[in-house]
């Protein structure tokens, strides 16, 4: 059996097929492994169960003999480093008697009558305002995959929030473009000179490995759960790795005396005091190079002593609070962050982060 695709759905397909009696299951991927969408642990679990993952094979056609599927033809590909461009090496046929396509789903809107006044754009998708989620037909709203194409459930929920505000406005005769503001609250967690209202020990331990049911028992029933959860000890270790994502570092440049104590104590080297410069230049001059270009750097105002700046790579910070604990002038503080999300009718609601 062949599974086409290498997302997490493909992993569900191959592992479920094994449990339903499938044999010699191969997952076929167009691109190299580092470009797969599936989570690495899903791939490892599938391979542990005997699934073979074959890279750089692009499907071209089903091979049918006497009305029966006997194989699938693939082009073997060679990719450039970024896996953007490929060249075809040759063509191979891999025998199989079943193929599952796990390559995602497409939106389809044949039910939208085209004379409604609802504009349909690229990919035959309705044209949707990205702020109000209203289509070109007032009073008709879209969200989730049907609005902006495939993302994830978190985006779909946010679309629902925003569309609900628009629908409320529409029903009340308020312009849908009139949006209630979002807000944030930041509250210091300092309770004493070195005391904080949250547990801030830095814990460098790595992610705990989830216990799995033994291989021999996994295939007895498709309902057998493979991941059996953490032991009490693992749970304790895992929760101690918490990054305190709701507690933020907040810096006040005028208080900093450039003693370097925070730089020295930071366990992940995400702080640097340096001459200011453009971002590309700054990224090269930090205590640890900031390689994630999607994450903007924090760059403070000029420090009072030398005019240099405090730079923080938020991508590395584990929110341990050691910088604030060590700082003699309270230039660094640890503050609890609350996002105030406006709902359709009411005043903003604080959402615990």
> Binding segment for ligand SF4 among 59-67, 73-81, 263-271, 281-289 (CB under 6 A)?
263-271
Question: Which of 55, 319, 333, 338 lies at the binding interface for ligand SF4 (CB under 6 A)?
Answer: 319
3-state secondary structure of 256: coil
Residue 315, Ramachandran bin (φ over 0: left; ψ between -120 and 50: alpha; else beta): alpha
- 332 lines the binding site for ligand SF4 (CB under 6 A): yes
- Please check whether residue 126 is in contact with residue 117, taking contact to mean a CB–CB distance below 8 angstroms: no
Question: Which of 101, 186, 236, 257 lies at the binding interface for ligand SF4 (CB under 6 A)?
Answer: 257
Minimal distance, residue 285 CB to ligand SF4, in Å: 17
- 286 lines the binding site for ligand SF4 (CB under 6 A): no
Question: Which of 103, 268, 340, 341 lies at the binding interface for ligand SF4 (CB under 6 A)?
Answer: 268
* Angstrom distance (rounded) from CA 283 to CA 271: 12
Going from the C-alpha of 274 to that of each of 7, 65, 279, 308, 326, the distances in angstroms are 43, 70, 12, 5, 20
Minimal distance, residue 238 CB to ligand SF4, in Å: 19
Minimal distance, residue 262 CB to ligand SF4, in Å: 3
Minimal distance, residue 247 CB to ligand SF4, in Å: 8
Minimal distance, residue 334 CB to ligand SF4, in Å: 7
Strand pairing category for 86-95 and 99-101 = unpaired
* b/e per residue 53-83 (b: at least 16 CB within 10 A): bebbbbbeeeeeeeeeeebbebbbbebeeee
- 82 Cβ contact list (under 8 Å, min separation 6): none
Question: Which of 145, 327, 333, 338 lies at the binding interface for ligand SF4 (CB under 6 A)?
Answer: 327
Angle at 33 between CA 75 and CA 11, to 5 degrees: 95
Minimal distance, residue 190 CB to ligand SF4, in Å: 13
Footprint on residues 289-318 left by ligand SF4 (CB under 6 A): 312, 317-318
- 218 lines the binding site for ligand SF4 (CB under 6 A): no
User: Which residue number, 227 or 260, has a Cβ lying nearer to ligand SF4?
Assistant: 260
3-state secondary structure of 273: strand
- 260 lines the binding site for ligand SF4 (CB under 6 A): yes
Footprint on residues 167-206 left by ligand SF4 (CB under 6 A): none
Footprint on residues 71-100 left by ligand SF4 (CB under 6 A): none
Dihedral angle computed from the Cα positions of residues 234, 237, 238 and 239, in that order, rounded to the nearest 10 degrees = 120
Q: Which residues bind ligand SF4 (CB under 6 A)?
A: 249, 256-262, 265-268, 270-271, 312, 317-323, 326-329, 331-332
């Amino acid at each position: 059996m062949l599974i086409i695709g290498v997302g997490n759905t493909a992993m569900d397909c191959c592992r479920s097929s094994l449990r339903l009696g499938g044999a010699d299951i191969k997952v076929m991927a167009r691109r190299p492994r580092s470009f797969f969408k599936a989570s690495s642990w899903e791939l490892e679990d599938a391979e542990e169960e005997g699934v073979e993952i074959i890279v750089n094979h692009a499907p071209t056609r089903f091979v049918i003999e006497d009305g029966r599927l006997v194989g699938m033809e693939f082009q073997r590909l060679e990719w450039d480093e970024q896996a953007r461009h490929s060249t075809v090496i040759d063509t191979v046929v891999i025998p199989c008697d079943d193929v599952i396509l796990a390559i995602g789903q497409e939106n389809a809107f044949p039910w939208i009558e085209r004379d409604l006044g609802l504009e349909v754009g690229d990919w035959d998708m309705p044209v949707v305002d990205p702020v109000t989620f209203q289509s070109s037909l007032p009073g008709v709203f879209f969200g989730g995959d049907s609005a902006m194409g495939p993302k994830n459930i978190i985006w779909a929920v946010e679309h629902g929030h925003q569309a609900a505000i628009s629908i409320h406005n529409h029903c009340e005769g308020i312009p849908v473009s009139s949006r209630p503001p979002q807000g944030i609250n930041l509250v210091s967690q300092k309770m004493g000179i070195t005391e904080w209202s949250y547990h801030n020990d830095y814990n460098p331990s790595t992610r705990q490995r989830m216990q799995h049911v033994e291989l021999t028992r996994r295939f007895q029933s498709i309902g057998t759960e493979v991941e059996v959860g953490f032991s009490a000890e693992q749970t304790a270790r895992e929760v101690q790795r918490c990054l305190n994502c709701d507690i933020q570092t907040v810096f006040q440049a005028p208080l900093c005396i450039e003693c370097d104590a925070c730089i020295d104590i930071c366990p992940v080297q995400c702080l640097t005091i340096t001459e200011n410069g453009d971002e590309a230049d700054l990224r090269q001059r930090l205590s640890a190079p900031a390689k994630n270009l999607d994450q903007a750097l924090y760059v403070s105002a000029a420090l009072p002593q030398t005019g240099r700046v405090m730079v923080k790579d938020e991508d590395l910070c584990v929110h341990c609070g050691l910088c604030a604990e060590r700082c003699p002038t309270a230039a660094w503080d640890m503050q609890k962050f609350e996002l105030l999300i406006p709902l359709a009718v009411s005043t903003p609601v604080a959402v615990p982060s």
